[in-house]
Amino acid sequence: MNLNDLSSDVRQAVADVRHKLVDLHAELPKNELVVWTAGNVSERVHGADLFVIKPSGVRYDELTPEKMVVCDFDGKKIDDDLSAGLQPSSDTAAHAYVYRHMPAVGGVVHTHSTYATAWAATGRPIPPVLTMMGDEFGGEIPVGPFAIIGDDSIGRGIVETLTGHPSPAVLMQNHGPFTVGKDGEAAVKAAVLCEEVARTVAIAEQIGSLIPIPEEALGRLYERYQNVYGQ
């Protein structure tokens, strides 16, 4: 498939997402969630079974809209004149699997942020001991299974862990956090907050015993934040 063969509406939607992703990727180093070229953001293209994702091995300060890579939901690159010679992120198969199996998801983020990845290395979920966790995650941040990059194994683990769970974040064991959202911005926000609570809870454990928030209170916090809070 070639991008030029698609409708003008789809091509415009792709162009819009490409520009948006440059700004969203800038949020990852800004919030100290990535180092060097690690990590990626993708976003679904509305009106087509396509998504746009960071190219593999390209540094964040070198990203431009033209370098963003367009893929179908099988993770195959869509040919176009802009990203010629660039390959999509090594995590593309995982992103593609999520988009195929979670139609409400419009954005996916992967980072190796320090504290969230440390929790992933222990195979422990982050316990719900902060009101922020009730607000954003609806409870604990769960751990997904160990999986190797290269096929859709990571994607399967993400979907299996997050299906039926309110959390937009999962800690893939021995790997790091993946977050999802209605669009790329929501997924980036979840990645930022995931690292914030991972850091805070890790520090709290060094101070003393954690105090869990009751399940009923977590539900009320989540309901208010998701449906009432803000403008």
Taking Cα atoms as reference points, which of 118, 75, 123, 119 lies closest to residue 95?
75
CA neighbours closer than 13 Å in the CB half-sphere of residue 17: 27
Cα separation of 27 and 63, whole Å?
A: 13
What letter represents residue 41's amino acid? V
Active site residues: 135, 229
Question: Would you state the structure tokens that stand for residue 210, as one six-digit string?
Answer: 């954690």
Beta-carbon contacts of residue 223 (< 8 Å; ≥ 6 apart):
none
Question: Would you state the structure tokens that stand for residue 135, as one six-digit string?
Answer: 């607000």
By three-state DSSP, how is residue 178 classified?
strand
Question: Would you state the structure tokens that stand for residue 43, as one six-digit string?
Answer: 């976003």
Residue whose entry in the numeric block shows the structure tokens 């993770």: 75
